[in-house]
Structure 1
């Protein structure tokens, strides 16, 4: 009985796959957005120590255009916009007095890249997909540090970042020409070289993005897809 049910399931998926395809020659117009917010509040447990609160938020938008070179294979170009802000407030207590400090960081980035996406239909309205994209981002970071309400110390840093992402997602097709997508980064590789007046350093990192802050919501339309 189990074998019969498994055979029927496979037959159903194969049948659905034939009906849910991105056809060769279709043009993809779409994009995705991501918003993440966090708040970390640390309270001292004795008369000494520090109270510290850190809040941060990030927003990104990635419009894309591509073409299906083969059924369910799309390659194209993308533009990347990112912005974020974090604020750290801390009060440190000693046996004689207390001190306050505040650090505000703002980041803005613009970039361009290329992507390749493969769709894996599993129903008449659903498809899983995997995507590999890579591009360059031009970043600008601004920081303001305040200590005991004194004169703020400001700094600015500009640098170029190279980023490659492997992501996976699922798409729902209410119409053959439109998809609502939910995706998450699986692996991100980042390489950057930063220079300031006092330091010059390079950074290479791998991130495994299986968390809510790595989830993006997107919408795509497919011109000429029947």
Structure 2
């Protein structure tokens, strides 16, 4: 079945690569939901994210642009509920290497600022936490060129570092991640 899907994808591909002087519009969207049934209680969690990018390809291999991410998650544990909203705003630089007229590999290096709001509900009352920070990360990926500049982007993780500094004498949090093979993302892109 996988071979048939790959052959079908190759059959509908056109033979045009992104070229110097084009505008790149890319992004991904995701949603996950999980329910766990424990002996005495049930836990539900939902996550949603939206992550668009816009860039200018000033060279056949180099693209520079801006990126934005909005994410929201909710964990419900009976009477307790925990909500998180994340926002990221930054810039990226992409280096692409065409393998042939259909496939390219690329790496995005992104950096910027981020903001997080957390609400911890216990019954009708809640405690609110706010944090600001920065992020930097590199994500290698595979690009499959489809018809008329449309493409699919596939990545399996990356390498990064981010920080959060919580308000009101809250903790300073830093996170280093190396998650190759632990995540799988599919995105779309269009060159104009």
TM-score between the two structures when normalised by the length of structure 1:
0.70
CA distance in 1, matches of 2:138, 2:32: 19
Structure 2 CA distance for aligned equivalents of residues 38 and 180 of structure 1: 27
Count the aligned residue pairs: 178
Residue 26 (1) aligns with residue 22 (2)? yes
2:23–2:56 Cα contact (<8 Å) kept:
yes
Q: Do structure 1's residue 131 and structure 2's residue 101 form an aligned pair?
A: no
Instruction: Name the SS of the counterpart of 1:70 in structure 2.
Output: coil
Deviation of the 1:111 alpha carbon:
2.6
Report if the CA contact (8 A) 1:80-1:137 is conserved.
no
User: Out of 68, 82, 86, which is 1:79 matched to?
Assistant: 68
Where structure 1 has 5 or more consecutive residues not aligned to the other structure, the ranges are 1-18, 44-50, 90-101, 147-151
Map 1:152-167 to 2 at 5 A. Answer: 152-167=124-139
State the superposition RMSD in angstroms: 2.1
Structure 1 residues 57, 184: CA separation in 2 closer, same or farther (over 3 Å shift)? Answer: farther
Q: Following TM superposition, by how much is the alpha carbon of 1:103 offset from its aligned partner in structure 2, in angstroms?
A: 1.8
- Gaps of at least 5 residues in structure 2 are 1-14
- Which has the higher Rg, Structure 1 or Structure 2? 1
* Aligned partner of 2:151 among 172, 179, 186: 179
> Among residues 156, 165, 168, which one is paired with 1:193 in the alignment?
165
TM-score (norm 2): 0.81
CA drift at 1:216? 2.7
Contact (CA 8 Å) 1:88, 1:103: kept in 2 or not?
A: yes
Match of 2:175 among 169, 191, 205: 205
SS at match of 2:187: strand
- Name the counterpart of 1:9: none
